[in-house]
Amino acid sequence: MGAGSVPARYLVYFQYLGTDFNGVAAVRGVQRAVGVQNYLEEAAERLNSVMPVKFTISSRTDAGVHALSNAAHLDIQRRSDLPPFSPEVLTEALNTHLKHPAIRVLQAFRVPSHFHARHAAISRTYLYRLATGCPRPDRLPVFERNRCWALQADCLDVAAMQEAAQHLLGTHDFSAFQSAGSPASSPVRTLRRASVSPDPASPFVLPEESRQLQFWSMEFESQSFLYKQVRRMTAVLVAVGLGALMPAQVKAILESRDPLGKHQSRVAPAHGLFLKSVLYEGLGPTSMQPPRRPSETQYRSHR
């Protein structure tokens, strides 16, 4: 049996601006909507695999949500007289054939045939960007539109937001922050980190505007999240920052387990959310290092 006669499995990392897509997942059928996965699989068709190539996505993101680094696994079976693609060649080939400029493959690794990009992830981190001091949408620089949630308020009470976020840390039933349609069998999740911090001045803001506009980042880390959990937690913490909620009320909302309550039913806009990283056991950060092949059982994402 030749080296290329059995499928080779790869883990690939990719990024995208989500503005033009109906989420990351492929849209099947004749609908006009399209997902990032559609373009990835269309590019993979050009690799002449014996069997059709399907991407199994690690982390589902909704329409308008972006990713600095998402992950997926795929199998490629070449003709029996051809060796498997090297990870570097696969990365270059996919980028060459990608037909949408808002998608880029970052890196690829060979992985065992039993590896699963969704189930093997040990950590996922989401970043949510906010802007204050923006009384009208047209006050936001065009380069920042669809990249953050622009708030009319001049400032946020970050100390109150940080206090409120402490109530969300740890293992809880997050039903109050879960939207309908979640495929999760259990609403219990462990939130390892929730932070709020000011961002450096955006390079896209003119000096005369920088006195009014302030950018902020919120980050959330867990092994996995419920459907729209991050955007609903963000909306509640922003309400605390604007003085509409007290930090202690966030604890009461969490304990209510009621997703339809007065304060927790709001969902932050999709366009401010970025999937920042997906981590796998054992493989260190690689974004500033030359590509390297991990051991057969240890993987971590390009960050």
Residues of each annotated binding site for substrate: 126
Could you tell me which residues come within 8 angstroms of residue 230 by beta carbon, excluding any fewer than 6 positions away?
Answer: 126, 128, 220, 273
In sequence order, the β-bridge partners of residue 127 are: 219, 274
Which residues are catalytic, by number?
A: 62
Binding site residue list: 126
Torsion of CA 119, 123, 128, 129, to 10 degrees: -130
Distance CA 21, CA 161 (A): 31
Going by their DSSP bridges, the two strands 123-132 and 214-222 should be labelled as antiparallel
> Which of 299, 289, 301 lies closest to 124 in space, CA to CA?
301
Tell me how many degrees the CA angle 47-52-54 measures, rounded to the nearest 5.
Answer: 95
The CA–CA distances, whole Å, from 244 to 154, 156, 263, 264, 286 equal 15, 11, 9, 12, 42
What are 2's two structure tokens?
């030749």
DSSP-derived letter for residue 46 is T
What are 97's two structure tokens?
């054939």
Distance CA 112, CA 84 (A): 13
The CA–CA distances, whole Å, from 169 to 61, 223, 235, 250, 253 equal 22, 13, 16, 11, 14
The pair phi, psi for residue 107, each rounded to 5°, is -170, 155
